[in-house]
Amino acid sequence: MKASTITILVVFLIGGSCKEMDPVELIFNGGGELGFGFPSAWDYHDGWGAYKVTWENQPCHSGSRSFHISTNVQSPDSSFWAQQRCRDIPRGKALTLKAMVKGNLVGPGIRLAIRCDDASSSLISPGVQFISTEGSSSITGTFDWTEYSVQIAEVSPAATCTWIFLVYLPNTTGEVYFDDVSLVHY
């Protein structure tokens, strides 16, 4: 009886060590469900008033809220929703930003972006790492809920904070909704 118990324990331990780790979520309130008058943990830029940036009840991919940006005037500035995280930075690990997006856009469209900052970064600096869907995925036109993603293969050891951006690009018109935003590492 003891030999079979030890064998089962060894198989369990070996099998458990080969299991892929579960993703660790870094975004708070990625579905926009929490908040009073404004979604908790989120910031935005309205392009100095050129864009309507709102927290909407409909349409939603899931839950009851989504992040919305719209304009009917081409602006040379951009607009965005953003979230910053400055703790538990996954240095040396891959970092993936995903979002469900629904749009009716004319022009360059939107992009998803991840920026990693170090201690010397500022709001206008590029940070130590920056990657976006722009140039690799064209997110424009009219489309129903679609998942888009972007990944930093390995977060810099110098990173002290990460930012995610849901960006409405300059010279774009129309509207876009974002929902189920996720930033994970394994």
pLDDT digits (tens, 9 = 90+) for 122-154: 767 778 999 999 988 899 999 999 999 999 999
Residue 7 has pLDDT above 50, yes or no: no
Return the amino acid letter for 161.
Answer: C
Q: Which residue has the higher pLDDT, 80 or 122?
A: 80
* Residue extents of the structural domains in the chain: 21-185
Q: Which residue, chain included where needed, has tokens 């908790």?
A: 40
- Count H helices, E strands: the chain? 1, 10
Pick from 186, 185, 181, 184: nearest CA to 82: 181
pLDDT band at 18 (very low <50, low <70, confident <90, very high): very low
The confidence score (pLDDT) of residue 125 equals 73
Residue 3 has pLDDT above 60, yes or no: no
The confidence score (pLDDT) of residue 77 equals 95
Q: Which residue has the higher pLDDT, 166 or 17?
A: 166
CATH superfamily, with its number, for domain 21-185: Galactose-binding domain-like (2.60.120.260)
Residue 175: strand, helix, or coil: strand
State how far the Cα of 153 lies from the Cα of 75, in Å rounded to an integer. 33
The confidence score (pLDDT) of residue 62 equals 97
Q: Nearest 10 degrees: CA dihedral of 73, 78, 79, 81?
A: 150
Mean pLDDT of the chain: 90
Residue pLDDT, tens place only, 110-125: 999 999 999 888 767 7
Indicate the pTM of the whole model.
0.87
pLDDT band at 22 (very low <50, low <70, confident <90, very high): confident
Name 175's Cβ contacts closer than 8 Å, sequence gap at least 6.
Answer: 68, 69, 70, 103, 104, 105
The confidence score (pLDDT) of residue 14 equals 46
What are the structure tokens assigned to 78, written together?
């951009």
Q: Which residue has the higher pLDDT, 96 or 5?
A: 96
State how far the Cα of 60 lies from the Cα of 46, in Å rounded to an integer. 21
The confidence score (pLDDT) of residue 24 equals 93
Side-chain half-sphere CA neighbours of 145 within 13 A: 14
pLDDT band at 20 (very low <50, low <70, confident <90, very high): low
